[in-house]
């Protein structure tokens, strides 16, 4: 079987398109690359969806935590503590069994026990909490002069937030947020290794890598391939976030524009 044929059969296997049976023996390098790459679809899906939705909740949480109103501040603080203070792995387990019992009482929640929605919700809350803390830190380090200038121009409420506070907050938080995004993508590999079941062997990249390692009892091929894909993904994320960073800083004179110095810090 040629490699092209393999890609046709297994390229979209993780979302259920193509050959149904996974290869069983005599695994070729091409099958390794194709199936693990196919699994990356899930990692990218979880990562992008969680980031896109989590971003807004994170902004809200940061504003809430910085608020002077107790009724806004306390819930935000607790939410952030709850999701940052406990392991994502346990959150997945707890959420899954919570959804399971919800489903038994109300069939309406059926979709929650499948990974595409249930795990996404957990990742959404999780990344919102971590980014919320990052944004909160940035919010507190907005230069006082910026806000005073906005006040002097008579800006209040929404327009002050939209034009001054929010862009500055993003600008300050961006390097740390990039870091968070990278580790969120890494965290997506946990989904199918916690409670969420893999339906019809449609798993993520680590699931397929684990499948190969189990079958061949040789970890030295599938895991480096997985590593290769993830390093590629990390580079793409750094590039994409770098572009946004450029746009966020476009008003600054070129000399003052801070080149994004990204030091991958494990801050999860």
Partner 1 sequence: MHWAFYLSFFKVLLLLAITAPVALGFGFLGAMAARSHFLPLSLLGKGYIAIVRGVPDIAFFMFFVIALDQAFEWTRHKVLCPEWTDPVRQGNDFIVCQAAKLPLGSAPEWVHETYGFFLAVITFSIVFGAFAANVLFGGMRAVPHAQLETAEAYGMTRRQTFWRILVPQMWVYALPGLSNLWMVLIKATPLLFLLGIEDIVYWARELGSYKNPKFTQYPHGDWRMWYFLGLLVFYLGMTRVSEIGLERLMRRLSRGQATSGGELLRKETTA
Structure-token pair, residue 138: 């940035």
- Shorter beta-carbon distance to partner 1: residue 135 or 164: 135
Q: How far is the CB of 155 from partner 1 (least distance, A)?
A: 31
Q: How far is the CB of 181 from partner 1 (least distance, A)?
A: 14
One-letter-per-residue 3-state SS of 242-266: HHHHHHHCCCCCCCCCCCCCCCCCC
Which of 106, 81, 109 lies closest to 96, judged by CA? 109
CA-to-CA dists, residue 38 to 7, 157, 224, 250, angstroms: 9, 47, 16, 37
Q: What are phi and psi of 140, to 5 degrees?
A: -75, -20
Q: How far is the CB of 160 from partner 1 (least distance, A)?
A: 29
- Shorter beta-carbon distance to partner 1: residue 24 or 256: 24
Residue ranges that bind partner 1, judged by CB under 8 A: 25, 81-82, 84-91, 93-94, 97-98, 100-101, 185-187, 189-190, 193, 206, 209-210, 213, 215-220, 223, 226-227, 230-231, 234, 263-268
- Shorter beta-carbon distance to partner 1: residue 109 or 161: 109
Burial group, residue 84, by CB count within 10 angstroms (0-12, 13-18, 19+): middle
- Shorter beta-carbon distance to partner 1: residue 213 or 244: 213
Q: How far is the CB of 168 from partner 1 (least distance, A)?
A: 22
């Amino acid at each position: 079987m040629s490699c092209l044929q393999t890609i046709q059969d297994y390229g979209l296997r993780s979302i259920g398109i193509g050959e149904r049976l996974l290869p069983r023996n005599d695994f070729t390098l091409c099958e390794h690359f194709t199936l693990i790459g196919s699994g990356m679809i899930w990692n990218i899906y979880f990562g992008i969806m969680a980031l896109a939705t989590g971003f807004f909740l994170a902004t809200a949480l940061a504003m809430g935590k910085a608020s002077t109103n107790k009724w806004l501040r306390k819930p935000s603080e607790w939410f952030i503590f709850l999701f940052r203070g406990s392991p994502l792995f346990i959150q997945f387990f707890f959420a899954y069994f919570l959804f399971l019992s919800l489903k038994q009482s109300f069939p309406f929640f059926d979709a929650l026990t499948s990974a595409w929605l249930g795990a996404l919700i957990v990742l959404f809350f999780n990344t919102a909490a971590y980014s919320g803390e990052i944004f909160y830190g940035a919010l507190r380090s907005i230069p006082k002069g910026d806000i005073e200038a906005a006040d002097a121009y008579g800006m209040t409420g929404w327009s002050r937030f939209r034009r001054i506070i929010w862009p500055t907050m993003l600008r300050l938080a961006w390097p740390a947020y990039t870091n968070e995004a990278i580790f969120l993508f890494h965290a997506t590999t946990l989904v199918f290794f916690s409670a969420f079941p893999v339906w019809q062997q449609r798993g993520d990249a680590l699931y397929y890598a684990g499948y190969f390692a189990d079958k061949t009892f040789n970890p030295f091929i599938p895991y480096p391939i997985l590593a290769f894909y993830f390093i590629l993904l990390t580079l793409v994320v750094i590039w994409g976030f770098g572009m946004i960073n450029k746009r966020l800083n476009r008003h600054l004179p070129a000399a003052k524009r801070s080149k994004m110095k990204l030091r991958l810090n494990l801050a999860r």
